[in-house]
Amino acid sequence: AQKVTQAQTEISVVEKEDVTLDCVYETRDTTYYLFWYKQPPSGELVFLIRRNSFDEQNEISGRYSWNFQKSTSSFNFTITASQVVDSAVYFCALSEATSYDKVIFGPGTSLSVIP
Amino acid sequence: DGGITQSPKYLFRKEGQNVTLSCEQNLNHDAMYWYRQDPGQGLRLIYYSQIVNDFQKGDIAEGYSVSREKKESFPLTVTSAQKNPTAFYLCASSSVVRTGREKLFFGSGTQLSVL
C-alpha cells in the first residue's frame, strides 16, 4: 500500500539556522513521483518540487535542496539559512503511475522560524 | 492572473443543513479535486473529476456530493449525512491526469464549521 510518513509534526528553528524536513514513503510501484508542497498561513498549497523514481539526482534551488534516496525510501527537504517567510506547513506527497489519479499526502510538518 | 478561486473563505453549517462550497478555475485544467484537511493530518481526497460530467469518489466521499457541469467549476456539497464536517476544504486542479507526474494547483481553501 502507498503511504507517506513525515515523522516531524512541528519544528522550531531560529532564523538563519539550517533545517531538514524528513519524508519516508512506501510504494510497490517502480514508477512513481514525489512532491513537496508548502502551505503558508494563507492556506493555499504551493508546489515546490517533483522528482520521479528514476532520477535520484539531488537538487538545489537557492536555499532549498532535496535529497532523494531510493535505498531508504526517503525524500528529505533542507532549507539553508532559514528565514521567517519559510514558516509554513510542508507536505510531502506520492503519486504512483498505476494509480495516477490519486496523490497521497503525508501529515505535514509545521515549521516555525523564529526571528 | 490564472488561478483557482474558492468561496466562501469561512462557512458555518447548522445541524441538518446542506452547504455548498464553490471552486472555480481559469487555468483551463481538465482535472479538478476536492481535499479535506484536518489538523495534524494530511490532505484526504473526497472527489475528483477528469472531465466534464464525470467524477469519481475519493477515499472519504461519504456525506459529500459534487457536480461538474462546466470545465471551470467543481462545486462541493456537504450534506447533512456528513456528521463531522468541520474541516478545511481545499480545491485543486491539474492540467492532465495521465501519468501521475502532474503537479496540483490549489485554491486558498474554505474553513467549514458547525454551529
| Element containing residue B5 per DSSP (H, E) | strand B4-7
Report the pLDDT value the prediction gives residue B1, as an integer from 0 to 100: 67
Q: DSSP of A46-107, one letter per residue?
A: EEEEEEETT----EEETTEEEEEEGGGTEEEEEESS--GGG-EEEEEEEEEGGGTT-EEEP-
- pLDDT tens for residues B24-35? 999 999 999 999
Give the Cα separation of B33 and B76 in Å (integer): 10
* Residues 6 or more apart in contact with residue B101 via CB below 8 angstroms: A33, A50, A52, A95
Query: Looking at chain A, which residue has its C-alpha nearest residue B4?
Result: A44
Contacts of B42 in chain A (CB under 8 A): 4, 91, 104-108
The backbone region for B27, taken as left when phi is positive above 0, alpha when psi lies in -120 to 50, beta otherwise, is alpha
Contacts of B109 in chain A (CB under 8 A): 43-44
Give the Cα separation of B27 and B18 in Å (integer): 29
Residue A58, pLDDT above cutoff 90 = no
Burial category of A10 from C-beta neighbours within 10 Å (exposed 0-12, middle 13-18, buried 19 and up)? exposed
What's the whole-number mean pLDDT along residues A61-67?
92
B16 touches chain A (CB under 8 A): no
Give the Cα separation of A42 and A88 in Å (integer): 9
Give the Cα separation of B4 and A43 in Å (integer): 13
Residues making up chain B, counted from first to last: 115
What's the whole-number mean pLDDT along residues A62-83?
94
The single residue listed with the C-alpha cell 456530493 is B65
Whether residues B104 and A103 touch (CB distance < 8 A) is answered with yes
DSSP 8-state secondary structure symbol assigned to residue B98: S
Q: What angle do CA A98, B37, B13 make, to 5 degrees?
A: 130
Inter-chain CB pairs, A–B, below 8 Å: 64
Contact B115, B12 (CB under 8 A): yes
Neighbours of A100 (CB within 10 A): 18
A36 touches chain B (CB under 8 A): no
What's the whole-number mean pLDDT along residues A21-41?
94
pLDDT band for B96, please (50, 70, 90 cuts): confident
pLDDT band for A55, please (50, 70, 90 cuts): confident
What's the whole-number mean pLDDT along residues A74-80?
96
Report the pLDDT value the prediction gives residue B40, as an integer from 0 to 100: 79
The single residue listed with the C-alpha cell 539531488 is A58
Q: Which of A37, A42, A50 sits opposite B101 (nearest CB)?
A: A50
Residue A47, pLDDT above cutoff 80 = yes
